[in-house]
């Protein structure tokens, strides 16, 4: 059973993850409003993000956060080490008739702080998300990544994702 709008859903943690200078407890949890500036900074700290995201929180980010927070099928997850945000991702649970009425999890907006990329944080985040999907009984986990992100493609392939579909988008 999903909690109602505005209710916090349980998080799982801590998970061990290699970070700056050694091992630290990283907690994967739902973002709170106070995390929004750090999440927005993560989104903009990226080759593609620099062209489509801002570095400061504005009304559009505030509304998007409130909408995600109020929707029981959406979670904005952060990787938190002692109050310091290392990464973020959005998880959306999509009901469907296909696959015998199965729910699927969509992973979007995955970002790891640029100075920590390649150090295991992203793998821990995605594995945590997959565990959440399994616990919910989802039939599959899906994601998209820009065709120019060759390192990301290798990363997801190494985690077991398969390039089974061609995705198309129409910017509006």
DSSP 111: E
Cα separation, 90 vs 108, whole angstroms? 5
pLDDT tens digit at each of 172 positions of the chain: 344 444 445 444 445 554 445 546 899 999 999 999 999 999 988 766 555 666 788 899 999 999 999 999 999 999 999 989 999 999 999 999 988 999 999 999 999 999 998 889 999 999 999 999 999 999 999 999 988 889 999 999 999 999 999 888 888 9
- 3-class state of residue 127 by DSSP: helix
C-alpha angle 115-120-125 in degrees, rounded to nearest 5: 100
CATH topology of domain 15-159: Aminopeptidase (3.40.630)
Q: What is the pTM of this model?
A: 0.84
Task: Tell which residue, 121, 44, 137, 138, has the closest CA to residue 77.
Answer: 121
Task: Tell which residue, 132, 163, 142, has the closest CA to residue 94.
Answer: 142
CA separation (Å) from 21 to 24, 106, 116? 9, 32, 11
Cα separation, 100 vs 83, whole angstroms? 41
The full set of domain ranges for the chain reads: 15-159
């Amino acid at each position: 059973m999903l909690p109602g709008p505005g209710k916090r859903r349980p998080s799982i943690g801590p998970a061990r993850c290699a970070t700056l200078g050694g091992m630290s407890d990283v907690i994967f949890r739902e973002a709170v409003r106070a995390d929004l500036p750090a999440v927005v900074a993560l989104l903009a700290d990226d080759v593609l993000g620099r062209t489509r995201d801002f570095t400061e929180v504005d009304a559009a980010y505030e509304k998007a956060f409130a909408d995600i927070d109020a929707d029981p099928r959406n979670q904005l997850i952060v990787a938190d080490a002692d109050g310091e945000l290392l990464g973020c991702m959005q998880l959306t649970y999509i009901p469907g008739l296909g696959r015998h009425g199965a729910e699927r999890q969509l992973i979007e907006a995955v970002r790891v702080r640029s100075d920590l990329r390649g150090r295991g944080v992203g793998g821990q985040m995605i594995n945590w998300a997959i565990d959440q999907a399994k616990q919910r009984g989802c039939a599959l986990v899906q994601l998209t990544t820009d065709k120019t992100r060759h390192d990301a493609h290798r990363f997801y392939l190494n985690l077991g994702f398969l390039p089974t579909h061609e995705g198309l988008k129409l910017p509006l």
